[in-house]
């Protein structure tokens, strides 16, 4: 059975990439900008679950695992990670006497039917329902657009709309151009509205946080009304939200200079920022 303490097994089970990168290094490669990452950071710190989606057309090295691992550094201080064992998962961790769901992130390498080390069917459905029990989830999927991710969750895996509303962040990434080495971009970043819309009670509403502007090779961001809603959903006064976001943008701008800070330097910078708040 999978032992996450073993580096070889983490690689074999696709929990680690050949070339791990920090989020500062990913920003330095222009895959995404500091403003987008700062917002993701803030939402993850306040308990958002996470899906990283990559293309359905098999493309090795698109970066789902690298991106997912880099973002895990933004989980709340003191968070615990429970590694999933694909189709072999029995969710025994939920029966541990000292488990704290609110502090636990269930990490799945991928939700797909490609390999037994991934999750699909009723196992994936149970996994993605964990936020209803107070847990958080972080995983990757094959999907080209936010609509494809939501269709997979709602129709292929038959999750209810109330379950999908708890799944938080959905980031779609991919490769652009034909140059070598490949250029990666975060095409869109969304946050699933966690509450029912009175006008559309059966709808799942993904709120766009940012998207890649192909013609300018730049990123465009959500406007203030969206930010005000996000602040409310995570329980911050809007002024606090703005200040916390600004600090994270500035931190990431500094860390991503040159080739970017590595994973250890990122860890230290995140800890320092949190100690000052």
Residues in CB range of 11: below 8 A, 6 or more apart: none
pTM comes to 0.95
Say what the pLDDT of residue 59 is. Answer: 63
pLDDT recorded at residue 72:
97
Q: What are the mean pLDDT values of the chain's consecutive 10-residue runs (277 residues total)?
A: 81 87 97 98 97 82 90 95 95 95 96 93 98 98 96 97 97 85 91 92 95 96 97 95 98 97 97 93
CATH 3.40.50.300 is the classification of domain 7-276: yes
What does the domain layout of the chain look like in residue ranges?
A: 7-276
pLDDT at 88: 94
């Amino acid at each position: 059975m999978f032992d996450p303490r073993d580096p070889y097994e983490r690689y074999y089970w696709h929990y680690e990439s050949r070339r791990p990168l920090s989020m500062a290094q990913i920003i330095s490669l222009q895959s995404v900008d500091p403003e987008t990452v700062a917002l993701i950071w803030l939402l993850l710190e306040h308990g958002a679950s996470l899906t990283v989606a990559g293309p359905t057309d098999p493309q090795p090295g698109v970066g789902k695992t690298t991106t997912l691992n880099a973002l895990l550094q933004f989980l709340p201080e003191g968070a615990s990670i429970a590694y999933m064992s694909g189709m072999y998962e029995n969710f025994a961790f939920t029966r541990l006497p000292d488990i704290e769901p609110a502090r636990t992130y269930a990490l799945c390498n991928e939700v797909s039917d490609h390999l037994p080390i991934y999750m699909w069917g009723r196992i994936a459905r149970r996994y993605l329902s964990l936020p209803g029990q107070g847990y958080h989830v972080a995983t990757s999927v094959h999907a080209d657009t936010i609509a494809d991710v939501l269709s997979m969750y709602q129709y292929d895996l038959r999750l209810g709309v109330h379950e999908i509303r708890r799944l938080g962040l959905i980031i779609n990434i991919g490769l652009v151009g034909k140059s070598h080495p490949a250029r990666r971009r975060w095409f869109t970043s969304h946050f699933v509205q966690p509450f029912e819309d009175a006008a559309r009670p059966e709808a799942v509403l993904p709120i766009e946080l940012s998207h890649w502007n192909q013609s300018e090779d730049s990123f465009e961001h959500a406007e203030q009304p969206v930010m005000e809603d996000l602040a409310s959903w995570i329980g911050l006064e809007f002024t606090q939200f703005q200040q916390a976001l600004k600090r994270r943008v500035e931190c990431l701008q500094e860390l991503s200079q040159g080739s970017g800070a590595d994973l250890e330097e990122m860890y230290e910078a995140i800890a320092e920022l949190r100690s000052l708040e």
